[in-house]
Chain A
Amino acid sequence: MHRKERSFFHSILFRSSLWIVLPGVVGMLLVAYFVGIQMRYQIEKQITEEMQRVRDNSLLYVQQTLLLKDSRVDAVSFQLYKNEIEEQLSNAGYSGIFLCNPEGTLLAGDAKAFELRKEQEDFTRAREQESVFLVRYGNGGQCEVYFSMPVNLNGQFIGIISSFFDYGELYRGQSDAMQRMVWITVAVFTLICLIIWFTVYRILLPIRRLSQAASEISTHLADGRQGSMILNKLQLQGRKDEIGELCSNYMEMLQVTEEQFQKIRDDKDRILTLWSSRQEFYNNVTHELKTPLTTISGYAQLMEKNGPGDEALFYTATGHILKESTRLHRMVVQLLELQDKADAEEARRLNLAEIVENVTETMKIKANRYDNTLTLKGTKEYLPVTGKEDKIRQALINVIDNAIKYGEPGKPIHIRLTRQGGQVQVAVSNQGQGIRKDDLESIFEPFYRADKGLSRELGSSGLGLSIAARIMEEHQGYIKAASIPGKETVFTICFPAVE
């Protein structure tokens, strides 16, 4: 079987890593962005509050300065005491100060720098009497604030104050703090990713091993190798988690599979054997049927040829034809019995001792003809079995008949009836040339004969023992044979005892 190679990009490890890392990276970038936005928002909020204070203080400084000069609070005084106001603002920590009249004309401050400044939005809007500041963020952590405000005192617009404030230190401080936070987040996230990756790797490792094992098993199972051996190599069964449970179930499934495979193999062998037996059976049937027919046909042809005048031939031929036809008839009857599976007789409780005694009495006549004696030994108590009486009688007759035919003349045939454990046994023993060990296994097959010449001579069809074996099989019993060639042969019929 071809093992399918898995791409790393289709692995759970890669996908889970992707699903953790990708959203994590995106999340961190978004967090960095929104933290940056939030940081600027906070700084702008802080600057706004400070600029409001700067505006309030600036108005106060202007008013204080003008009051100290004992002057009116108006545009003329603002222009007149511009230097004092600038000095006051400078003392208060203002830098980049420009003082202008309401029309935007510079009163105090650096004229050259004012050329650039006056175009800025904060200044242009201050001329429209709005207090505005412009925050300029630079890449190097600069955060410059340009603030312009109208000076509205006593309900009069008397001038414009512009100044500059450097918030770079605050911005850089917060920016550095944010960067540290982001880097800490990155480090923590990376650590979490590594832990998750390692955990997923650890979780998937036995599954990967299991997959490899399954692949090996699928490759080698057909060869009959033990898959469980491969699984044992994985050393996963000790685990008590889901993986261990999976492995245990997998092992169990594999064992069942192996048993099924073994059963299939056994069935296959049995089928092949049966097929072979069946062929042999038909060969034998053909042969056995053909032999008497050949005899009958031969004598019939001779009688036709010689005509009615050959009286000797007539009697010899009719004798042979009668004998062979009788044998043929008996053979057909037995074949029919062998195939008769739809027997209408119902199984019932029987006393086996009684049946055996009866059959023994019946068979004594035939035993006498072969110059043998039948002796029944063993228990005579009630031995109940369940079965069909005719069938049981048939099996006993076939076995005893076989013992009479193949027993040495003058030697006794013993029939012993015993009860052992859950079985009732009938042992039939005779003395004669016996059966070779090689033949013992096949004697219950139809038409099998250990000595074919002898069997036919004794008028055997070769079906008696196979019929007996089939009957015993029907009765959940069995028949077995043991033999010491030249001495004794014992056929034992076993029935399951019934209480």
Chain B
Amino acid sequence: MKRRKHKRCIVFWGGILTAAVLSGCGVGEQDKTIVLPPLENQVMDSEKFRFAHIQQYIGSGNAENVLCLAWGGVGTDTLCLLKKEDGRYVYQAIDTREDTVLSSVFVDDRSLANVSIAPGGGYLSYEVQDGEEMNLIVFCPSQGIRQILHRWQGQEENFSYIWSDDGAMLFSWQNGDSGDAYKEWRVTRYEMETVPEEGFGYTVVSFQMKGNGRAWRSVCPNADGSEIYVREQLSAFDSNMSYNWLLLSDTATVEALPEYSKTPACPIRYTQAGLFVQEESGDIYLIEDIRSQPVKTKLVSGNEGTYAPFTYVCANGDHMFLMEWVNYSMYQISGARIVDGKVDGQPVVLYNDNYESLNEIKIVSDQAVVFWGEELLENNGYRYKVTVLRY
């Protein structure tokens, strides 16, 4: 009996040991075939919303000389840019299909800053030093005329300048008359009026704002420029104080708005659908009815621990595009439709390219996304590259 038990014990342990040795040595050469799940859902999503046409234009000359780009208008193939040639700043309109320069206009020979070309290329704005003062100038390439919109004492400052989608209004926020932006600041709408044969004029609607200290300030005009959403986010690290206003251009009145976010929020665009904001977590929200009772709807969840995507929304507020890193060398553009204040399905990857080619999205219109980037040359220089994704 004892011997049998002993024998069984040896057989058991021998078996276990042999199995263990064999299995321990068994992870060696192997071929394994794995089938990926089918793409049905993604195909359906991408068929819902995808780019219909892609157009690329690679300009001549080094990209370093190009200060600013704009698309000549939706449905056109015209590229507008301000470039530096022989120490002079020249505005050019280029036919990207034919790769020909349609027009080339001298702008200025002084050092320009904060250059911004209006969509369609009808105007460009810039800051320039003139003696002891700084000038905000708007230049009309078609007429070759420049107008000084604003003068102030001091150096150039990184004020915010935004052109309306139709390229006729320039919105800015600048220091107030006292020069202390912490205490007072000013939001101004300049509306250009072109008078054939007589040049162009402009009307100004200005809002004097009381400053609440060191703060991030965002200015988001709506599509027609009648309403300007303004947010002042105090930058104290332990404070989430913020102020929201709606500036009504037609009546030149300021309307205080209720707060909608418990965390610091960055406004993306004020559209017909509502206000698009991105919070610190990367979450993107649509705030509807901001004037009375804000309704906050999450559109996209941000990924914790990763960079929040750059978010762009068209003026109608029905298309949203996210530009984000895929890996160390790739960018991708995802897009989603906004229907009834919600994302239709999930954002779909629409385009990807290397990071040199996808530098910055310049225009998101109701029909196309225009971005520009660079293409590396053999002599380590860059050429600018503009891509138009039509949808």
A130 and B35 contacting across the interface, CB-CB below 8 Å? yes
**Smallest beta-carbon distance A268→chain B, Å:** 42
B21-49 toward A: CB 8 Å interface, digit per residue (1/0)? 10110111111111111110011000100
Contacts of A108 in B (CB 8 A): none
Which size class do B's interface residues fall under? 35 or more
A139 to B31, CA, bound (A): 12
**Smallest beta-carbon distance A72→chain B, Å:** 12
B205-241 toward A: CB 8 Å interface, digit per residue (1/0)? 0000000000000000000000000000000000000
Contacts of A212 in B (CB 8 A): none
B54 and A29 contacting across the interface, CB-CB below 8 Å? no
Contact A55-B36, Cβ < 8 Å, known A22-B17, A40-B27, A137-B29: yes
A125 and B29 contacting across the interface, CB-CB below 8 Å? no
Q: Is the CB of A51 closer than 8 A to any CB of chain B?
A: yes
Contacts of B28 in A (CB 8 A): 137, 139
A70 to B77, CA, bound (A): 14
Q: Is the CB of B56 closer than 8 A to any CB of chain A?
A: yes
A32 and B24 contacting across the interface, CB-CB below 8 Å? yes
A56 to B36, CA, bound (A): 12
A70 to B55, CA, bound (A): 8
A154 and B47 contacting across the interface, CB-CB below 8 Å? yes
B23 and A33 contacting across the interface, CB-CB below 8 Å? yes
B42 and A56 contacting across the interface, CB-CB below 8 Å? yes
Beta-carbon nearest neighbor of B56 in chain A = A68
**Smallest beta-carbon distance A24→chain B, Å:** 11
Beta-carbon nearest neighbor of A34 in chain B = B23
Contacts of A25 in B (CB 8 A): 17, 20
Contacts of A37 in B (CB 8 A): 27
**Smallest beta-carbon distance B345→chain A, Å:** 15
Q: Is the CB of A91 closer than 8 A to any CB of chain B?
A: yes
Contacts of B55 in A (CB 8 A): 68
Q: Is the CB of B200 closer than 8 A to any CB of chain A?
A: no
Selected from B27, B43, B351, the residue in CB contact (under 8 A) with A152 is B43
Q: Is the CB of B256 closer than 8 A to any CB of chain A?
A: no
Q: Could you tell me which residues of chain B, from 48 to 96, have a CB within 8 Å of some CB in chain A?
A: 50-56
A47 to B26, CA, bound (A): 22
A91 and B42 contacting across the interface, CB-CB below 8 Å? no
B349 and A60 contacting across the interface, CB-CB below 8 Å? yes
**Smallest beta-carbon distance A57→chain B, Å:** 6
Contacts of A461 in B (CB 8 A): none
Contact A122-B33, Cβ < 8 Å, known A22-B13, A26-B17, A29-B20: yes
Selected from A36, A48, A136, the residue in CB contact (under 8 A) with B36 is A48
- Number of A interface residues at 8 Å Cβ cutoff, please give it: 47
**Smallest beta-carbon distance B284→chain A, Å:** 22
A38-72 toward B: CB 8 Å interface, digit per residue (1/0)? 00100010011001110111001101100110100
B23 and A29 contacting across the interface, CB-CB below 8 Å? yes
Contact A44-B32, Cβ < 8 Å, known A36-B27, A67-B53: yes
A33 and B24 contacting across the interface, CB-CB below 8 Å? yes
Selected from B24, B34, B43, B349, the residue in CB contact (under 8 A) with A135 is B34
B31 and A134 contacting across the interface, CB-CB below 8 Å? yes
Q: Could you tell me which residues of chain A, from 115 to 171, have a CB within 8 Å of some CB in chain B?
A: 121-122, 125, 130-139, 149, 152, 154-155
Beta-carbon nearest neighbor of A39 in chain B = B27
Contacts of B39 in A (CB 8 A): 55, 131, 152
A138 to B31, CA, bound (A): 9
Contact A60-B17, Cβ < 8 Å, known A37-B27, A132-B33, A139-B28: no
A498 to B330, CA, bound (A): 119
Contact A64-B351, Cβ < 8 Å, known A44-B32, A134-B31: yes
Q: Is the CB of A187 closer than 8 A to any CB of chain B?
A: no
Contacts of A253 in B (CB 8 A): none
Which of A44, A67, A133, A138 has the most C-beta atoms of chain B within 10 angstroms of its own C-beta?
A: A67
Q: Is the CB of B16 closer than 8 A to any CB of chain A?
A: yes
A131 to B42, CA, bound (A): 14
Which of B23, B53, B55, B354 has the most C-beta atoms of chain A within 10 angstroms of its own C-beta?
A: B23
**Smallest beta-carbon distance A66→chain B, Å:** 9
Q: Is the CB of A30 closer than 8 A to any CB of chain B?
A: yes
A70 and B53 contacting across the interface, CB-CB below 8 Å? yes
B16 and A26 contacting across the interface, CB-CB below 8 Å? yes
Q: Is the CB of B249 closer than 8 A to any CB of chain A?
A: no
A139 and B32 contacting across the interface, CB-CB below 8 Å? no
Beta-carbon nearest neighbor of B55 in chain A = A68
Contact A68-B54, Cβ < 8 Å, known A37-B27, A56-B349, A137-B30: yes
15 contacts between A and B (CB under 8 A): A29-B21, A36-B27, A40-B27, A40-B30, A55-B39, A61-B352, A64-B54, A67-B54, A130-B36, A132-B33, A137-B29, A138-B29, A149-B36, A152-B39, A155-B47
A interface residues (Cβ-Cβ under 8 A, vs B) = 22, 25-26, 28-30, 32-33, 36-37, 40, 44, 47-48, 51-53, 55-57, 60-61, 63-64, 67-68, 70, 91-93, 121-122, 125, 130-139, 149, 152, 154-155
